Chains A and B, each alone.
Chain A
Amino acid sequence: MSDLAEIFIKALLIDNVVLMRFLALCPFIGMSTDIKKSVGMGGAVTFVTVLATAVTWPLFKFVLVPFHLEFLQILTFILVIASLVQLVEFYLKKSAPALYSSMGVYLALITTNCAILAVTFDSISNDYTFIQSLVYAVGVAVGFMLSMLLLAGIRERIKIAKIPAFLKGTPILFMSAALLSMAFGGFAGLIK
């Protein structure tokens, strides 16, 4: 049990997927404009990530490895993720059209969300069990949502702050991300 908690905390804080590992930056910058969008995106990413891990882990262990097809890992994993995103799109269009239209192109872009592919790869390279992979997936996805929420909060303040001209727009966002990253760096010693 404690190793699961450790994996979760590491994924959420110590090795935060956005702020410490630089993954999933496109949606991080693009969708953190307000809290609602961040939560919506975070939820969708969590769903896809966990589902993707649940499918790719057995795929690797029970199909690719026994047949010595490990070199097909990149191809099969990304196709699984792409298909899952299609399914999510389908489902959202039917049952939550408002959320679907507000997410726009970013929903399809979940496919190219580096974090999801990275999670599926890490679960294999870190030699996690199935349950450990799922916990890891949830930790990473929640960490992603956390970092987006934090940046969304900062962005709302930036809107009414005085920013030097040469930093206006994207540069100040990255500077804020740098500060968040420094803060998260402090979690390094959390687990011995």
Chain B
Amino acid sequence: MKKYIALFTNGLLKENPLLTLMIGLCSSLAVTTAVSNGIGMGLAMTFVLLMSEILISLFRKIIPDSIRIPVFIIIIATFTTIVDLMMKAYTPELSRSMGVFIPLIVVNCIIMGRVEAFASKNRVGEAVADALGMGLGYTWVLVGISIVRELLGAGTLLNIRIIPEAYTIGFFAKAPGGFFVFALFISINLAVNRMTAAGKGGAK
């Protein structure tokens, strides 16, 4: 049990895909203008990651090594399409506001990266823990950035007005704001990592 928890928290903090490993950036910044988009993207990506890791871990001994990349792509693309169709059917507004970024989940480096590095070499239980950790690690950073950008840029959170419109800072809602907020998140994460590493080293 401890192993699974360790794997899970690994993706959340220590090896956070966005802040530490710095993969899967593409779709992340663009959807963070609104918290609803951030949550939607995070959950959609987590679903695709989870299902892909499970399936690939299950089949890891059967998939021939030389064609493994195309097979991985087929599996990931299939689940991405499933998410896309389900969102179009059940959450059409969210699907429209996220636009082309849902299909882009298929090229999200996190999924390909974890599937190749982890799921294809480990058992299903561990793959599940890894997927959930990475997926939720991705989601919380996305939601964090969205909260900052939506609150400061539009004055709302989940479309509920919090700051009066006159005080919103348009910078955060536009493209440069995304880069800027992300830079701050990375630097905070680096600082936290440095401090915990120093703390551990000092204690030793």
Contact = CB atoms under 8 A, between A and B. Distances in A.
- A–B direct touch, CB within 8 Å, in complex? yes
Interface of A: 19-26, 29, 71-75, 78-79, 82, 109, 111-114, 117-118, 121-122, 125, 166-167, 169-175, 177-179, 181-182, 184-185
B107 A112 contact: yes
A74 B81 contact: yes
Contacts of A23: 26, 30, 104
A174 B26 CA distance: 13
B163 interface: no
B196 to A, nearest CB: 15
A184 B187 CA distance: 25
B25 A71 contact: no
Interface string B96-116: 000010011011110010000
Interface in B1-15: none
A111 B76 CA distance: 13
Interface string B11-37: 000000000001101111110000000
A64 B179 CA distance: 37
Nearest to B29: A22
A178 B73 contact: no
Given A23-B30, A169-B190, A174-B182, A125 B100 contact: yes
A109 B24 CA distance: 12
Nearest to A118: B100
Contacts of A122: 100
Interface of B (DSSP majority class): helix
- How many of chain B's residues touch chain A, expressed as a range? 35 or more
Contacts of A22: 25-26, 28-30, 175, 178
A78 B106 contact: yes
Contacts of A171: 183-184, 186-187, 190
Contact of A114 (B74, B104, B174, B178): B104
A185 B176 CA distance: 8
A25 B77 contact: no
B73 A78 contact: yes
A22 B18 CA distance: 14
Given A26-B22, A166-B191, 7 more contacts: A25-B25, A26-B25, A29-B25, A75-B77, A78-B73, A171-B183, A184-B175
Interface of B: 22-23, 25-30, 69-70, 73-74, 77-78, 80-81, 84-85, 100, 103-104, 106-109, 112, 174-180, 182-184, 186-187, 190-191
B78 A75 contact: yes
28 contacts: A21-B175, A22-B25, A22-B30, A23-B104, A25-B29, A74-B77, A74-B84, A74-B103, A74-B106, A78-B107, A82-B70, A112-B107, A112-B108, A113-B107, A117-B103, A117-B104, A118-B104, A121-B103, A170-B190, A171-B186, A171-B190, A174-B183, A177-B179, A178-B176, A178-B177, A178-B180, A182-B176, A185-B176
Q: Which of B108, B109, B175, B178 has the most CB of A within 10 A?
A: B175
A98 B107 CA distance: 27
A122 to B, nearest CB: 7
Given A23-B26, A117-B104, A171-B187, A185 B179 contact: no
B179 A181 contact: yes
Contacts of A24: 26
A181 B70 CA distance: 35
A24 B177 CA distance: 17
